[in-house]
Chains A and B, each alone.
Chain A
Amino acid sequence: MKKEMRILSPTAILGYGFPPASFERGMARRPDAIGLDGGSSDPGPYYLGAGKPFVDREAVKRDLAIAIPAAKRAGIPVVIGTAGGSGARVHVDWCLRIIREIAREKRLKLRAAVIYADVPRPLVARALAAGKVKPLSFVPELTPETLRRTGRIVAQIGMEPLMAALRKGVDLVVAGRCYDPAVFAAPAVLAGFDPGLAVHLGKIVECAAIAATPGSGRDCVLGTLRKDCFTLETLSDARRFTTASVAAHTMYEKSHPFLLPGPGGVLDLSKVGFRQAGANSVEVRGSRFVPGPATVKLEGAVLTGYRTFSICGIRDRVMLGQLDPIFAAVRAAVEENFGRGDYRLAFRVYGRDAVMGALEPERDRVGHEVGVVIDAVAPTQAQAGTICGFARSTLLHYGYPGRVATAGNLAFPFSPSDFAAGAVYEFGIYHVMEVDDPAELFPAKHLTIGGGR
């Protein structure tokens, strides 16, 4: 077994970019693998539901066109997880087309493994009937009806399918939806390193320099794994890892600070210790992986309607003092013309409570001007346009008590004023499913990309 293993994480999300100097400094450390987290569920359900990427194609191509040739020259694998942003087949294939283009342009020949993370609906239906699908906290129970309405379903795959692919000796793994740490942990666990340390390392470096200080989503970091500890270091003098930044990132966007459930077990960090190892590096010890039943987290989006919105501003003090009754009157006018229907009309008031909604404690404090988003969601795009447009024109000319400015109530920054924003989704599936053999369920397809050297 190797004495240490170095994993390079160039960027927080594939396409967020990285300074070339940091990347070269990372490659000079002779890493054993490059991991690239290609996505997240953070930008919301739209991208999974609509099958669209949330990072620009040219930005993704730029990052890959640097990382893939460098890794090929160094003879190390690139492991991409959650390809295309949401990691469904359509996203993976989008990412593969970019890689093919790079291979052609750079005359590269790449041995690649492709792992789709899509889960067929009948398989979920069977697991649901067998009581093997459980909701996470605050998630409604999955019903056959919701399952029927859900589009593509993906599973957050763990290390096993990635390790099975890497075992064959490949230049590149392109995987669908992945547990974020898995792309960084899989090469290390395959090489015999402790899964607790490897997954914890992966949990930190999957966000690259976001876990450093000052944080950045577009800078490289290096994780070095040893038998009983791992070290994190930044690759730019502009930032460093500190015990505080690493400890803070350990509990980032997780429900529990030191028990982190993932596919196949729980990362137990109750005994973890952080030590400042150098000016820009932190050593971590005591991370433990406690194996549990083989499970995967499922994600699926349900189409709930279509949105048209309008953006406008209000500066008039008299009007700002009576926003709620004015909105109520506009809503009543919309209902008079179009009925109550199954549309949803909201007036989002920036400068009052648009950010926190019902959680806002200072709703009574309204700024000297506010921004209003008139937000209509309806069963069709045309209906959403009707509701939004009618609410906008009614609000523009509504004669409220005490009005001094009779020419119009709203300042529109744009013409046209209304924007068709397309489909609106919600996460209908965010559940854990028991599986028998994750590597078998998500097999790798091996192929050669490009015809160069």
Chain B
Amino acid sequence: MSGSGAGRRVRLSELAGVIRSKNSGPFELTLDVFFRTPEIFRRARALGLVDRELIRRLYRVRDDQVLEIIWFEPAAAVKATIAREVSSGSAGDTDVYGAQQHMPLVDAEVQWDGPAPGGG
């Protein structure tokens, strides 16, 4: 569970309009979450809504397989980059471009007390 305090549990997709995954080079998978408004972004950042623990849990990776969680105000977005299970296009790979690894984040439930979300 990420975030804290009062509020209610919402799906991350209610707070973010775009959630995506993609290779960042053949050895990394980078996850981007774009919040619906700057206000939602700022509250989410203050709550640390997306943190290493959430990424570790959703993607079942070790802490040393999570590179960084970085919030980027101009895009109202947060980025998390993790190690790929195997490098892109090698024998055991399942997703050469890494573009279909985002659903655990879409479905993630988080505690929310910020501005009213929409969509979902």
Contacts and interface: CB of A to CB of B under 8 A. Distances in A.
B60 A359 contact: yes
Given A304-B90, A344-B91, A357-B94, A430 B85 contact: no
Contacts of B28: 137-138, 255
Contacts of A252: 22, 32
A357 B96 CA distance: 12
B96 A253 contact: no
Contact of A358 (B76, B83, B85): B85
Contacts of B88: 41-42, 44-45, 427
Interface in A339-366: 344, 346, 348, 354-359, 361
A396 interface: no
A248 B90 contact: no
Interface string A125-138: 00000000000111
Given A305-B91, A358-B60, A42 B27 contact: no
A43 B58 contact: no
Contact of B24 (A44, A254, A304, A305): A254
A44 B26 contact: yes
Contact of B32 (A248, A307, A346, A357): A248
A244 B68 CA distance: 22
B28 to A, nearest CB: 6
Give the residue among B27, B70, B89, B94 with the most A Cβ atoms within 10 A: B89
Contact of A42 (B67, B97, B107): B97
Give the residue among B65, B75, B93, B103 with the most A Cβ atoms within 10 A: B75
A333 B70 CA distance: 49
B89 A425 contact: yes
Given A44-B26, A256-B70, A251 B77 contact: yes
B95 A356 contact: yes
Contacts of A44: 26, 88-90, 93, 96
A254 B26 contact: no
Interface in A225-262: 244, 247-248, 250-258
Contacts of A307: 91
A139 B67 CA distance: 12
Contacts of A395: none
Contacts of B24: 253-255
A327 interface: no
B60 A248 contact: no
B89 A46 contact: yes
A59 interface: no
A420 B93 CA distance: 18
A52 to B, nearest CB: 13
Interface residues of A, number: 45
A424 interface: yes
B112 interface: no
A251 B72 contact: yes
Contacts of A248: 18, 32, 34, 75, 77
A361 B18 contact: no
B23 interface: yes
A20 interface: no
A253 B21 CA distance: 8
A3 B104 CA distance: 48
Given A254-B30, A255-B68, A426 B97 contact: no
A356 B84 CA distance: 11
B115 interface: no
B74 to A, nearest CB: 5
Given A44-B96, A138-B84, A361-B58, A424 B22 contact: no
Contacts of A425: 89-90
Nearest to A286: B74
A42 B94 CA distance: 14
Given A137-B27, A138-B84, A355-B94, A256 B22 contact: no
Given A45-B88, A356-B100, A377-B91, A430 B34 contact: no
B1 to A, nearest CB: 15
A340 to B, nearest CB: 16
B54 to A, nearest CB: 13
A45 B96 CA distance: 10
Interface of A: 41-46, 136-139, 244, 247-248, 250-258, 269, 272-274, 304-305, 307, 344, 346, 348, 354-359, 361, 377, 424-427, 430
17 contacts: A44-B88, A44-B93, A136-B25, A137-B83, A138-B27, A244-B76, A248-B34, A250-B75, A255-B67, A273-B74, A274-B74, A344-B91, A357-B92, A361-B58, A424-B91, A426-B86, A426-B87
A-B CB proximity, top 4 nearest? A44-B89, A426-B90, A247-B75, A257-B72
Given A248-B77, A355-B101, 16 more contacts: A44-B90, A44-B93, A45-B26, A136-B27, A247-B75, A251-B32, A251-B72, A256-B70, A273-B74, A307-B91, A348-B94, A355-B100, A356-B94, A356-B103, A359-B101, A427-B88
